[in-house]
Structure 1
Amino acid sequence: MLKAVFFDIDDTLYDTSGFARLARKAALNVMIDAGLPLSREEAYRLLREIIAEKGSNYDKHFNVLTERVLGEEKPLLIALGMITYHNVKFALLRPFPNTISTLIHLKGKGYRLGAISNGITIKQWEKLIRLGIHHFFDEVVTSEEVNSEKPDIEIFREALRRMGCRPERSVMVGNKFTEDILGAINAGMSAILVNSELSDDERDRIKREGLDVTVVQEIGEIREIL
């Protein structure tokens, strides 16, 4: 019988990609209105390139943007972009419709709940707090504190250790096939893929290797499985 359910955070518990895209575009619009000499399409393309280069956890994307466009950092434009981005992000930050009811269901069934995330510890806790769901989780394990990123099995092993749970009695819920699903399976856990479409190669691999993974379209379906 399962004892623990672990969740990825971004794009599993809430729509990270959707709100981030809207917040970034709103920030760029303000920066352009204040003098950034780019079209909206050019600005968004360049910002995406910078994010891909520096990583999503880098906190100076707008600094790099102004430096590349204008040859130097522009504090006013940077501040306008950052404030707009955070204001829009916090206004839009909501869990997926069935996230809270699913967490309540699992707690009611006696499961221990954990989160395993590639990210900065404080930022991941901040997301859970702003989403209003931090109190559901017994443990939150991040790549920053473990010095190991999914799909490396070490971050899963550390999460299991903290929860005092054997891998065969645990399941990982996530939206990324390689990072969340294969990482968990390699650590001896079962897995549930949510909010993601499998490629033909991934489906063939699941069948060929007999991987212990269940695919659902949205998080609420987990209540019918666990």
Structure 2
Amino acid sequence: MYKTVFFDIDDTLYNTSEFAELARKAALDAMIEAGLPLSRSKAYKLLRDIIKEKGSNYGKHFNLLTKRVLGKEDPLLIALAVITYHNVKFAHLKPFPETIPTLLYLKCKGYKIGVISNGLTIKQWEKLIRLGIHHFFDVVVTSEEVGVEKPEPGIFKEALKRIKSKAEEAVMVGDKLKEDILGAVKVGMSAVLIGDISEKEKEYLKKLENKTNKKIYVISKLDELKEIL
């Protein structure tokens, strides 16, 4: 039935939320130790506000934080934060236990495998390389390249074009209901939502299935894909 499987990256192939929080707090600790005049809780709240305001792909969160606290950017504090953030994040960066076995299974079964991700192209490739899984993918398509983000149809259509697959032969796997699932079924793909969902979300997915006539699956772990495909 399916010949192509696309994946989101963050919180689908690895636990980005957990690692990002740990790395951000470590970066703030380094800044405070070097003289940033805020408590850890206040600094973390401000950083979260900046991330919400600018988006996770904005490259100067710590620059903006120092400017808002000190009235100007502080190169020392920014450098400490950036280096600490990356050191901590990459030290703990690893795929979910089910990720590599699942990708191996798909490759052995002859599926085409791709990535569709919102974000900067270099950053997405860097994640895949550091996770040790970049070689599994036939295509990696990012919003930066295409010029639109999920759930816009354009990014899914471009991914299908690059991997040479029909929409009805492809399935999208991701953790975000709107970006990954809604976006995929709107262009004629099936979809797999990974993670726990509420009863309200289950009802929404059932209605979406009926409306689009596309299959939508819900799994808790990546290796459950074998039962679907």
So what's the TM-score if we normalise by structure 1?
0.97
Q: Secondary structure at the match of 1:45?
A: helix
Equivalent residue for 2:223, pick from 220, 223, 226: 220
* Alignment length (residue pairs): 225
Q: Secondary structure at the match of 1:191?
A: strand
Code of the residue aligned with 1:173 in structure 2: it is: V
**What's the offset of the Cα at 1:139?**
0.2
Residues 57-96 of structure 1: CA deviation (Å, up to 9, x unaligned)? 1111111111111111111111111110010011011001
Runs of 4+ in 1 over 6 A off after TM superposition: none
Q: Which residue of 2 aligns with 1:123?
A: 123
Residues 91-114 of structure 1: CA deviation (Å, up to 9, x unaligned)? 011001110000000001100000
Residues 36-57 of structure 1: CA deviation (Å, up to 9, x unaligned)? 1111100100000001111111
**What's the offset of the Cα at 1:203?**
1.4
Code of the residue aligned with 2:205 in structure 1: it is: I
Q: Which residue of 1 aligns with 2:104?
A: 104
Q: Secondary structure at the match of 1:46?
A: helix
Distance in 2 (alpha carbons) for counterparts of 1:156 and 1:78: 36
**What's the offset of the Cα at 1:220?**
1.5
Code of the residue aligned with 2:177 in structure 1: it is: F
Q: Which runs of 5+ in 1 are unaligned?
A: none
Distance in 1 (alpha carbons) for counterparts of 2:9 and 2:37: 36
Distance in 2 (alpha carbons) for counterparts of 1:120 and 1:75: 24
Instruction: After TM superposition, list the pairs within 5 Å mapping 1:9-20 onto structure 2.
Output: 9-20=9-20
Q: Which residue of 2 aligns with 1:200?
A: 199
Q: Which runs of 5+ in 2 are unaligned?
A: none
Q: Which residue of 2 aligns with 1:157?
A: 157
Q: Which residue of 2 aligns with 1:181?
A: 181
Code of the residue aligned with 2:219 in structure 1: it is: V
- Between the aligned residues of both structures, percent identity stands at 66
Instruction: After TM superposition, list the pairs within 5 Å mapping 1:25-104 onto structure 2.
Output: 25-104=25-104
So what's the TM-score if we normalise by structure 2?
0.96
Q: Secondary structure at the match of 2:81?
A: helix
Distance in 2 (alpha carbons) for counterparts of 1:118 and 1:199: 25
CA RMSD of aligned residues (A): 1.0
Q: Which residue of 1 aligns with 2:142?
A: 142
Code of the residue aligned with 1:11 in structure 2: it is: D
Q: Secondary structure at the match of 1:161?
A: helix
Distance in 1 (alpha carbons) for counterparts of 2:57 and 2:89: 15
Q: Secondary structure at the match of 1:148?
A: coil
Code of the residue aligned with 1:39 in structure 2: it is: S
**What's the offset of the Cα at 1:117?**
0.2
Distance in 2 (alpha carbons) for counterparts of 1:66 and 1:117: 30
**What's the offset of the Cα at 1:212?**
1.5
Q: Secondary structure at the match of 1:171?
A: strand
Code of the residue aligned with 1:198 in structure 2: it is: I
